[in-house]
């Protein structure tokens, strides 16, 4: 029998897998319509707004470590964006087998440095 913890981890890992594959339709099925995202460079209200951005950015995630506590999942990962790889942490809240909130933190200085060169 699958536990709440197992469902939460599977939901988040499926979400990341689909993002890596650029299968945004499948990734969208892992999220609640009212998804709330908080990040270093901004936040989004609603899954549609979040996925509009993801389709443009096409991040690639390399999971380093996973921590699960009930319906909370924390990932430590390297994420490649705009040709820069950053170490990040993401905290995902899963309810009813859908991600309804997550927050990502990272040091944005490498991205800002790259942008200043252009």
> From CA 12, how far away is CA 8, in angstroms rounded?
6
Task: Judge contact between 115 and 98, C-beta under 8 A.
Answer: no
For residue 1, pLDDT over 60 is answered with: no
**Higher pLDDT among residues 56 and 35, named by residue:** 35
Please state the pTM of the whole predicted model: 0.90
Q: Going from the N-terminus, what domains does the chain have, and what CATH number goes with each?
A: 4-117 (3.10.450.50)
Tell me the C-alpha distance between 19 and 60, whole Å: 7
Digit-coded pLDDT (tens) for 15-41: 999 999 999 999 999 999 999 999 988
Q: Please provide the size of the chain in residues.
A: 118
How many helices (H) and strands (E) in the chain?
4, 6
């Amino acid at each position: 029998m699958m536990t709440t913890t197992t469902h939460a981890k599977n939901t988040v890992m499926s979400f990341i897998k689909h993002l890596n594959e650029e299968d945004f339709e499948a990734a969208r099925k892992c999220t609640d319509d009212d998804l709330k995202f908080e990040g270093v460079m901004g936040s989004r209200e609603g899954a549609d707004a979040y996925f509009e951005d993801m389709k443009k950015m096409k991040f690639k995630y390399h999971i380093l470590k996973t921590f699960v506590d009930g319906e909370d999942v924390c990932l430590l990962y390297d994420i490649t964006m705009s040709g820069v790889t950053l170490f990040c942490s993401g905290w995902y809240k899963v309810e009813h087998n859908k991600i309804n909130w997550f927050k990502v933190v990272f040091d944005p200085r490498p991205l800002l440095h790259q942008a200043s060169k252009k």
